Amino acid sequence: MSEPVPQENQAVPPAVEATTAPAPGQAGEGETPAGPSKGELKKRAKEAEKAKKAAERAAREEEERKKREAKEAEDHAKQNYGKLPLHQSQERNHRRFLKFAELSPESVGQRVIFRARMHNSRAQGAKIVFLAFRQQTHTLQGVLVVSGEKDENQVSKQMLKYSQLIPSESIVLVEGVIKSAEVKSCTITNYEVGIHKLFTAVEVGDLPFSIDDASRAEADFEKAEKDENLQYSRVALPTRLDNRVMDLRTPTNQAIFRIQSAVGQLFRDYLNSQGFIEIHSPKLQGAATESGASVFKVQYFNGTAFLAQSPQLAKQMAIAGDFERVYEIGPVFRAEDSNTHRHMTEFLGLDLEMAFEEHYHEVLEVLDEMLKNIFKGLQSKFQHEIEVIKKQFPHEDFLFLDETLKLPFKEGIKMLKEAGAKGSDGEELGELDDLSTENEKFLGRLVREKYKTDYFILDKFPLAIRPFYTMPDPTDSTLSNSYDFFMRGEEILSGAQRVHDPVFLAERMKSVGIDPASMTGYLDAFKLGAPPHAGGGIGLERVVMLFLKLGNIRRASLFPRDPKRLNP
Amino acid sequence: MSEPVPQENQAVPPAVEATTAPAPGQAGEGETPAGPSKGELKKRAKEAEKAKKAAERAAREEEERKKREAKEAEDHAKQNYGKLPLHQSQERNHRRFLKFAELSPESVGQRVIFRARMHNSRAQGAKIVFLAFRQQTHTLQGVLVVSGEKDENQVSKQMLKYSQLIPSESIVLVEGVIKSAEVKSCTITNYEVGIHKLFTAVEVGDLPFSIDDASRAEADFEKAEKDENLQYSRVALPTRLDNRVMDLRTPTNQAIFRIQSAVGQLFRDYLNSQGFIEIHSPKLQGAATESGASVFKVQYFNGTAFLAQSPQLAKQMAIAGDFERVYEIGPVFRAEDSNTHRHMTEFLGLDLEMAFEEHYHEVLEVLDEMLKNIFKGLQSKFQHEIEVIKKQFPHEDFLFLDETLKLPFKEGIKMLKEAGAKGSDGEELGELDDLSTENEKFLGRLVREKYKTDYFILDKFPLAIRPFYTMPDPTDSTLSNSYDFFMRGEEILSGAQRVHDPVFLAERMKSVGIDPASMTGYLDAFKLGAPPHAGGGIGLERVVMLFLKLGNIRRASLFPRDPKRLNP
């Protein structure tokens, strides 16, 4: 409450009129060379009378002003607003604090208390201020009206002024009564709060950008460029990421990270229901496995360690260790100097590995059901969040079929060729060629057209373009028991049946130029006997980015890391 | 099926008796100096007769042997056993495979197929072999009996021999019929499987140690030392960890990691029900925050990054970013050269942070309820696993109260002093002294005696022994709004209300010798306004170790990392 109440808008009392006439009895004193004329005397008497009246009026006005000021300085609403001292858990009253999301018809007429961000304020005349309070994706209108009564809920002019000077983004504590209303400028359109008390708990200084500017869709900016009445400031992605804490407060980001959290939850829910257990494998590795080129080195006491590029080896070792069905959600690290919309140096891997009985399609089907469980869960339980995001990132709802399209790789190549696609070298596409990013996207469009789905599986990839631990097809040695899953034409999951025989695995290593001696820990696991198994790895941020069509993977990462960014 | 059927136990046909008598008509040919005597002729005739009979018998026996061999070589059971070719998902028959855990009275009489480890085998006479098959924590007895009938389920002597020669830990595919039985040597005591088919899917070579030895309790080894008939080999922890894949197959480890998985699940379940969202913060940091001494350096392209020692700063920034209630399950890295039973260089942090309204005890209570939810969930849903673990690591069930004991730090010091505890310097314990590990354990015992609980909270720690971001107590500036949670006398959770005011935070930094300029990203978050908040961090492996009294934290980590171990 130490905040001085600002005075600038205070009604200024009328200034006392200055008069040029001397006071009576003082005029011409000591000046007697010639007596004044009668007319002159009359005139003087009149002027004196006028001056007297003016003085009287001024005195009266001065008195009134003092009275009024005294009355205003009293401020019976003082206890209802102001700045709170530092919150050190001084007391506990077990009051229930309102969450805007909980508002319902029963709330009307209830006295509530809540904590929120000061989103903005707008005065209407001298006696009313409309405030917008924000909690995550919701804004609620508050109304502050100067009241006549002198009761405990009194709102004074000073309080009104105070409310207008609270900086945006400050955290306020509000008490008031919920009313039915029709509101256009807030996300909550059918209620508002009549404010009785308004305190600043945390005052905020300069902002790098406004939440409103950071929340606009690209289309809004394009509109503003053609309309000189609209003054919007585009907030570039690097600016957002430099000030990520501020950026994260936009309703869009609040919704994105609720969805990111839900994806992990839905992933686990499905796998738990299928008898999986969650494992945690070490990120610090003694050797640079898989592909040495893109691995980060760590100074480990007097030696060197490496950051795991995936839990691939560990999860397979867990299978050899008899855990049968395992998953892991954890960071994976890629020391690749890729500066694209879909690469980061650290991202979240949703990995799973599963022993199977007869056919690797048992695993492919679990992966498929798990992903559909994610899509269904998001569309049924997070419609509010999806709608919030669509305002800034407009997109068509993600399409998927009850029975997922499982396309053999060769079939995909055929579709591409028929549509006129060429290889990245401009040559005819071969049945065993890898797919370029462009052709993947092209295939995604062809599939969407033909099958009405944004989601499908490509199965039976050529062996030569898959990692050494991929199991070859039993009848065609140029193919393999491996698969990729696609969302909106981009790969989100890659997986395969793995080679579980140590002799064959060592052969495969040699055939791709890896010295089996460099991976003894891994090979040893298979010498101890591993059941047939398959699995896959998903990039969490890619799923979020593609489901919501965010256009850049950094938007799906809380604090993204790329070759040029390590902060905040 | 390419495995040659071993012959060593095959019944050896009786060798043909050798006779010294020359064949008739050949005796003495060309030798006629004197005619034989009558007696001599009689004798010769007798011998010839004898030889003839012997030859006839030998011929008969030879014929019988050939018949028998032919019959055996036929082996009508050939199709019912042998080694399978490499599993490349050749075919799919959609058969349902049995999990031992699912056996029930309805299973009796059912024909089943399952995949399992060959645990061990034991012959009983020439016609019966008992096998133990293992699936995770369960072993099931299999009985193989040489059958008379020539039906499709025929079991031959060769099949019996084959079964005994399958190396332990090989992965087998078994078909048979479930029967009621009384079995002592397996974990499943009321059923066994009558085997019709037995194939080796994955054959295993030399083992570093046996699952049985790796599963014994310390008491068993002590008993064996006094009993010369018991030949047990102790498997030391480093040997286990060097061969972790093998070690993980013990029923104890199968149970430990199911419980580890459950702890994470129960942690999430409770927090999700309280409106938390899961976040993922980067492990690669641009600056060595918190305490620079124990942080791992990473070579990051042409610069340097650091591995996060905790998500402390990131989760607080998420609170400043308006997420209100967040948790994270992820690796944390400590470059501390500590070689103790409870330190690792990489472990799993269960972290949470929460904005609160009136008092940090709101957060303390959420933490408390969350932990009790874990304890209750484990004791109600994982009794089987707990019992399995108790066989190797005997312990009393973990005790906790419905209403958790919340002891002020001063009160804890008082209890210790009254019981005669001294400071680590041998001096009298002071009210603001830190607790040594020994005194923590001592206090744990005192609390258990007095309050009958293995779990309690110590609240209101002295400010001086807590991190700079800890909020001081509002009335006593030597104390703070911070707490530790204990299990069996060891700290498992440390937390506090945090300083959310940027000016005060910078002051606190300076007071402990940290330059605020070195943590601008963190400070900036608070300049943008953060609500009052508190949180805590839990070591997943510590909770598992202490709940199950495993004695060493490495036993609660899948592939533990310490200053001397980076593999496997």
Model confidence pLDDT, tens digit, residues B414-423: 999 999 999 8
Looking at A334, A500, A508, A533, which residue is catalytic?
A334
A498 among known catalytic residues: no
Inspect the interface and report whether the beta carbons of A358 and B95 lie closer than 8 Å: yes
CB contact residues (below 8 A), chain B span 18-37, against chain A: none
To probe the interface with B, which of A241, A265, A557, A566 has the most B CB atoms within 10 Å?
A566
Interfacial B residues in 430-459 facing A (CB < 8 Å): none
- In this structure, the strands spanning B81-83 and A533-539 are unpaired
Yes or no: say if A298 and A523 are a contact pair by the CB < 8 Å rule: no
Low-confidence winner among A186-200, A286-300, A510-524, B359-373 (lowest mean pLDDT): A286-300
Instruction: Confirm or reject contact between A504 and chain B (CB < 8 A).
Output: yes
The residue ranking higher by pLDDT, A241 or B21, is A241
Q: So what's the pLDDT on residue A3?
A: 39
Q: Does B84 touch chain A (CB under 8 A)?
A: no
How many Cβ pairs within 8 Å bridge chains A and B?
A: 297
Q: Say yes or no to pLDDT of A29 above 80.
A: no
Q: What is the pLDDT of residue A208?
A: 95
Nearest CB neighbour to A283, from listed B297, B317, B346 = B346
| Sheet of A284-285, strand order | A284-285, A303-307, A297-300, B297-300, B303-307, B284-285
For residue B265, give the chain A residue with the closest CA.
Answer: A278
Nearest CA in chain A to B101: A275
**B2 pLDDT above the threshold of 60:** no
* pLDDT band at residue A289 under the 50/70/90 scheme: low
Task: Kindly report the average pLDDT of chain A as a whole number.
Answer: 91
B509 vs B85: CA distance, rounded Å: 66
Closest-CA residue of A relative to B118 is A529
* Percent of chain A at pLDDT exceeding 90: 77
Q: Side chain identity at A366, as an amino acid letter?
A: V
Active site residues of B: 334, 336, 342-343, 491, 494, 542
Is position A346 annotated as part of the catalytic site? no
The distance of B293 to chain A (nearest Cα, Å) reads: 12
CB of A558 closer than 8 Å to CB of B279: yes
Q: Does residue A194 surpass a pLDDT of 50?
A: yes
Does B27 score more than 50 pLDDT? Answer: no
Q: Is B528 in Cβ contact with A89 (below 8 Å)?
A: no
| Cβ neighbours of B283 in A, within 8 Å | 283, 331, 333, 346
User: Rounded to whole angstroms, how far apart are CA atoms B523 and B535?
Assistant: 18
Residue of B136, B277, B284 lying closest to A346 (CB–CB) = B284
Residue B148's pLDDT is what? 75
Q: Is A268 on the interface with B (CB under 8 A)?
A: yes
Confidence of residue B68 (pLDDT cuts 50, 70, 90): confident
Q: Name every chain B residue with its beta carbon within 8 A of the beta carbon of A205.
A: 527
Q: Residue A244 and residue B277: Cβ atoms within 8 Å?
A: no
Q: Which residues contact B277 (CB under 8 A, 6 or more apart)?
A: A257, A258, A261, B323, B325, B326, B327
Find tokens 């971001």 and name the residue: B469
Q: How confident is the model at residue A288 (pLDDT cuts 50, 70, 90)?
A: confident
Catalytic residue among A119, A249, A342, A500: A342
In this model, does residue B229 exceed pLDDT 80?
A: yes
Q: Which of A494, A518, A561, A565 is catalytic?
A: A494
Question: Minimal CA–CA distance to B458: which of B475, B438, B434?
Answer: B434
- In this predicted structure, the answer to whether residue B247 has a pLDDT above a threshold of 60 is yes
> B461 near B482, Cβ under 8 Å?
yes
Tell me: pLDDT of B9 over 60: no
Contact A92 B321 (CB under 8 A): no
pLDDT in tens, A103-153: 999 999 999 999 999 999 999 988 999 999 999 999 999 999 998 767 778
Residue A355: strand pairing partners: A533
Contact (CB, 8 A) for B263 and B544: yes
CB-based contact B568 A331, cutoff 8 Å: no
Residue A13, sorted as left (phi over 0), alpha (psi -120 to 50) or beta, turns out to be beta
Cβ-nearest to A330 among B254, B331, B474: B331
**Closest approach of B249 to chain A, Cα-based (Å):** 5
Weakest mean pLDDT among A31-45, A434-448, B109-123: A31-45
Confidence of residue A59 (pLDDT cuts 50, 70, 90): confident
pLDDT digits (tens, 9 = 90+) for A361-376: 999 999 999 999 999 9
B540–chain A Cβ distance below 8 A for any pair:
yes
Chain B nearest CA to A244, separation (Å)? 8
* Mean pLDDT computed over every residue of chain B: 91
If contacts are CB pairs under 8 Å, which of residues 142-181 in chain B contact chain A?
169-171
pLDDT tens digit string along A328-358?
999 999 999 999 999 999 999 999 999 999 9
- Mean of the pLDDT values across residues A181-197? 97
Residue A490 among the catalytic residues:
no
- Helices A312-320 and A520-527, interaxial angle, to 10°? 20
Contact A305 B566 (CB under 8 A): yes
Question: What is the arithmetic mean of pLDDT over B498-517?
Answer: 94
A68-98 pLDDT, tens digit each = 777 666 788 899 999 999 999 999 999 999 9
pTM of the model: 0.87
- In whole angstroms, what is the distance from residue B374 CA to residue A550 CA? 37
Which of A382, A528, A542 to probe by mutation at the B interface, max B CB count within 10 Å?
A528
- Residue B73 binned pLDDT confidence (cut-offs 50, 70, 90): low
Residue B288 with chain A: CB contacts under 8 Å: none
Q: Which pLDDT belongs to residue A33?
A: 52
Reported as a single tens digit per residue, the pLDDT across B96-134 is 999 999 999 999 999 999 999 999 999 998 899 999 999
- Residues constituting chain B: 568
The DSSP symbol for B462 reads B
A2 touches chain B (CB under 8 A): no
Which residue in the set A89, A171, A524 is minimally distant from B531, CB to CB? A171
Residue A66 binned pLDDT confidence (cut-offs 50, 70, 90)? confident
Q: How many residues make up chain A in this entry?
A: 568
Cα separation, B204 vs A506, in Å, equals 16
- Most distant CA pair in chain B: distance in Å? 139
Task: With beta carbons under 8 A apart, name residues in chain A contacting B136.
Answer: 322-324
Provide CB contacts within 8 A for A194, sequence distance 6+. Answer: A142, A143, A145, A176, A177, A178, A179
Gap between the Cα atoms of A433 and A413, Å rounded: 9
**Residue A5 in this model has a pLDDT that exceeds 70:** no
- Identify the pLDDT of residue A39: 78
A278 contact B CB<8A = yes
> What digits encode the pLDDT tens for the residues A303-325?
999 999 999 999 999 999 999 99
More confident of the two residues A399 and A7: A399
Helix (H, G, I), strand (E, B) or coil at A124: strand
A481–B286: do the CB atoms touch at under 8 Å?
no
- Nearest-CB residue to A331 (from B279, B283, B504): B283
If pLDDT is split at 50, 70 and 90, which confidence band does B1 have?
very low
Q: What is the pLDDT of residue B519?
A: 86
Confidence of residue B447 (pLDDT cuts 50, 70, 90): very high
Query: Hey, of B135, B566, B567, which one would you mutate to test binding to chain A, going by the most A CBs within 10 A of its CB?
Result: B566
Q: Nearest by CB to B279, from A243, A257, A300: name it.
A: A257
Cβ within 8 Å of residue B358, ≥6 positions away:
A89, A91, A92, A93, A94, A95
B560: which chain A residues are within 8 Å (Cβ-Cβ)?
Answer: 282
Cross-chain residue pair A524–B568, CB shorter than 8 Å: yes
Residue A416 structure tokens: 């591409």
- Is A361 in Cβ contact with B529 (below 8 Å)? no
Q: Which of B278, B296, B317 sits opposite A298 (nearest CB)?
A: B296
